[in-house]
Amino acid sequence: MEKLPQPNLPEFAFIGRSNVGKSSLINMLTKKKGLAKISGTPGKTQTINHFLINNSWYIVDLPGYGFAKVSHTTREAWGKMISRYLQQRLSLMNVFVLVDIRLEPQKNDLDFINRLGELSIPFAIVFTKADKLIKSNIKQHVAAYNKTLSGFWEELPREFVTSADSSWGRDELLSYIEEIIKQYKPII
Ligand code: GDP
């Protein structure tokens, strides 16, 4: 936490299982190909990376979870770091939880989402890789996901359907971020 930039600008965190397409999404949003590293080795990034956007807000790239090959100790250290960040970072405005649109709801995603809800940390769900499905299947997959979420929550979170390959969802996500930034009140 001490190594993070001063919490003097609104920030938006991106998180998800390794390989969900987080780096690709960040690069798509910023239109900078090499900004976040698209890694061939899932689970490699273990640090919190801040990307300053237009000198006015941060995209925060959080290390991914759900990579089977990391040790128990590494997973625990990850959990502690992320918990501290999510609960203590005063300038954090919203967490985007990335979910591969093709997959059935995964336990670790649901656990993470439910934990955010319990802690009252504002979040939205970003479905990734939508270009891999045909249109009618996109709707079906989102509906199935929501059915699962409805088992836990009365109200569904805000959701975005995106593709880094075709830039779907880019305008919607950026407009959403812009709206939230308007509510930011400087803390330092
Ligand atoms: P990360 O580990 O979550 O940062 O995931 P990456 O961004 O490195 O992406 C993992 C893999 O999924 C890479 O092979 C990407 O090329 C691929 N990928 C990511 N986003 C998309 C997308 O929107 N569409 C398609 N078709 N492939 C994607």
CB 111 within 8 A of CB 28: no
Give residue-wise pLDDT tens across range 169-187.
Answer: 999 999 999 999 999 999 8
Q: Which atom of ligand 1 is closest in space to residue 128's alpha carbon?
A: 23
Q: Is residue 66 part of a domain?
A: yes
Q: What are the φ/ψ torsions at residue 53 (nearest 5 degrees)?
A: -110, 125
21 Cβ below 6 A of ligand 1: yes
Distance 27 CA to ligand 1 centre (A): 11
Q: What are the φ/ψ torsions at residue 143 (nearest 5 degrees)?
A: -65, -40
Give residue-wise pLDDT tens across range 54-75.
Answer: 999 999 999 888 766 778 888 8
Domain count of the chain? 1
From the CA atom positions of the chain, what is the Rg in Å?
Answer: 16
Residue 136 pLDDT exceeds 60: yes
Q: Which atom of ligand 1 is closest in space to residue 132's alpha carbon?
A: 26
d(CA 185, CA 183): 6
Q: Is residue 77 part of a domain?
A: yes
Strands (E) across the chain are located at: 11-16, 49-53, 57-61, 92-100, 123-128, 158-161
Q: Is residue 72 part of a domain?
A: yes
Nearest CA to ligand 1 atom 6: 21
Q: Is residue 28 part of a domain?
A: yes
Task: Give the CATH number, domain containing residue 74.
Answer: 3.40.50.300
* Among 92, 105, 102, 94, residue whose Cα is nearest residue 149: 105
Residue 103: domain span: 11-132+146-169
- The pLDDT value given to residue 74: 81
Q: What is the pTM of this model?
A: 0.95
Q: Is residue 109 part of a domain?
A: yes
The preferred substitution site among 17, 27, 38 for testing ligand 1, maximizing ligand atoms within 8 Å of CB, is 38
